Amino acid sequence: MKFFSHVFLAGLLLLLGGCASMGPSDQTTTSPQTEAPGVADSQPYAPPTPLFGRKPEYPAGDLTPIAPHESAPRTVAATTPPADLWDRIRRGFAMPDLQSDLVPGREQWYAARPQDLENMAERSRKYLFHIVEELERRGLPTELALLPFIESAFNPQAYSRARAAGMWQFIPSTGKLYQLKQNAFRDDRRDVLASTRAALDYLERLHGMFGDWHLALASYNWGEGSVGRAIAKNRKQGKGTGYLDLNMPMETRYYIPKLQAMKNIVANPGAFRIQLPVIDNHPYFDSVTITRDIDVALAAKLAEVPLADFKALNPSLHRPVILAAGTPQILLPWDNAAIFQRNLDAYAGDRLSSWTVWVAPSTMKTADAAKRLKMSEADLRYANDIPTHMIIRAGSTLLVPRPASQERDVTVRIADNGQLALVPETELRRIVLKAGKKDSVATVARRYGLAPTKVAEWNHVGTGAAFKPGQNIVIHRWVPVRSGLGTPVRPKAAISPTTRVAGR
């Protein structure tokens, strides 16, 4: 009887050990193309039932702000601890692999640049543990932790031509939609905690809309409206509606193959002759609460952290001061959090912040504002990142030296909502003139110092054309701005200035 008990116990342990060693299986997805037959081709695109057991927070195109996600802790089966963070990421792979001819080319591209790959991996060291923790807490595939490699090379200061910022590359409008504040003192699109929370909220919502991770990722890059319209178009034409079936811009077509290539390299770096740097499966940073305004340089000094490392963990800060009312916490390397608190408690300086905020009472030139504030124009420009040849609009909030007598910190209203509004000293204006006798493209171009080809283009005529007396002539000119009003000064030659055309 004892023999059978041992056999039974051994079998049970073997079964449990086998279950514990299994990674998460691929999720079964419902592709939009598995729609029930009989749906009219003319119907607008309707996303499938979400797989997460809830409807999307709002339909595509709705601009209702999204409330931050809150996840309940998960119960995880006991397993052998991961050797490092890369091993932990591999165990959480759960997306179906993309079978595309574009993937091998992306693999070769990364493998041919081992130093670039190593630099990206080193940058990720500060942020990757937190991202993996958040993904596991939400039950999401850990492949998503590799997305910042594709979006920004894990550079929280990355900024694109489309005005996307941060590791997760949020454009301003989408950032606001996901509660990422953007003001004169900070940009949460670059904040490590806030931007990761917003990105995962967005990705969860997209997966809930499309029921397919490849379509969700395509939407993250291209926009859910664009992907939805592409699906509707394919459905109307009787074509497939999966990711590989859609007609997409080149950037989006290569987007997921890049992620798949990175996944394959992380899964088996030796096969690509890549050596990933060891990243311990341990938090890199800790969050520290601050209750008083404090200079960035002083905060780094009290934490005994190099200023560059401090800024890398707190990349959302725009200015040389941290306003406690708007940024109540900072991130510090794990072992330096306690050092900061100890040094802060023992700090004997007169004050923590040498800066405060001044609200411009009227529109004025930077030189005039500096004179009023009794500081150099160069210092005012540097502290507020004001380019040359720009005018400060009324109501703008500017960082200025804090008087020794001022004890109060900046208020929540200003710290959370302060904006710096600038206009160029000159603006491009579309100006309409009345042609005089013997006016032609050549004479108008010569009179205003313009290229004849431009005058001809603006008026839809040839370069040798003549104008009839009284005929409207359109030209575009840079004209000075009246600083007191913030509006362009009308040139004497202009009869009826019309709408400004920026960028022409």
Domain boundaries of the chain, sorted by first residue:
83-272, 285-346, 355-424, 426-497
pLDDT of 33 > 70? The answer is: no
Q: Considering only CA atoms, which of 380, 381, 473 is closest in space to residue 430?
A: 473
* Spatial distance between the Cα atoms of 348 and 377, rounded to a whole number of angstroms: 32
Mean pLDDT of 189-200: 98
- What's the pLDDT at 42? 33
Mean pLDDT of the chain, nearest integer: 83
Mean pLDDT of 353-373: 94
- What's the pLDDT at 61? 40
Higher pLDDT, 408 or 478: 408
What's the pTM value of the predicted model, to 2 decimals?
A: 0.73
Q: Considering only CA atoms, which of 391, 186, 205, 214 is closest in space to residue 296?
A: 186
Tens digit of each residue's pLDDT (9 = 90 or more) over 260-311: 999 999 999 999 999 999 999 999 999 999 999 999 999 999 999 999 999 9
* Spatial distance between the Cα atoms of 204 and 224, rounded to a whole number of angstroms: 13
Mean pLDDT of 179-202: 97
* Spatial distance between the Cα atoms of 149 and 391, rounded to a whole number of angstroms: 38
Q: What percent of the chain has pLDDT over 70?
A: 80
pLDDT of 238 > 50? The answer is: yes
pLDDT tier at 425, thresholds 50, 70, 90: confident
Q: Are 35 and 236 in contact (CB under 8 A)?
A: no
Query: Which CATH architecture fits 426-497?
Result: Roll (3.10)
- What's the pLDDT at 68? 66
Q: What single letter denotes the amino acid at residue 248?
A: M
- What's the pLDDT at 240? 96
- Report long-range pairs for 367-376 (Cβ below 8 Å, ≥24 apart): 368/483, 369/398, 373/400, 373/401, 375/400, 375/401
Mean pLDDT of 385-400: 93
pLDDT of 4 > 70? The answer is: no
Q: Is the dihedral of CA 242, 246, 249, 253 positive or negative?
A: positive
Q: Between the CA atoms of 248, 154, 320 and 413, what dihedral angle is there, to the nearest 10 degrees? A: 50
* Spatial distance between the Cα atoms of 205 and 223, rounded to a whole number of angstroms: 12
Q: Give the residue numbers annotated as catalytic, written as ranges.
A: 151
- What's the pLDDT at 69? 61
Query: Which CATH architecture fits 83-272?
Result: Orthogonal Bundle (1.10)
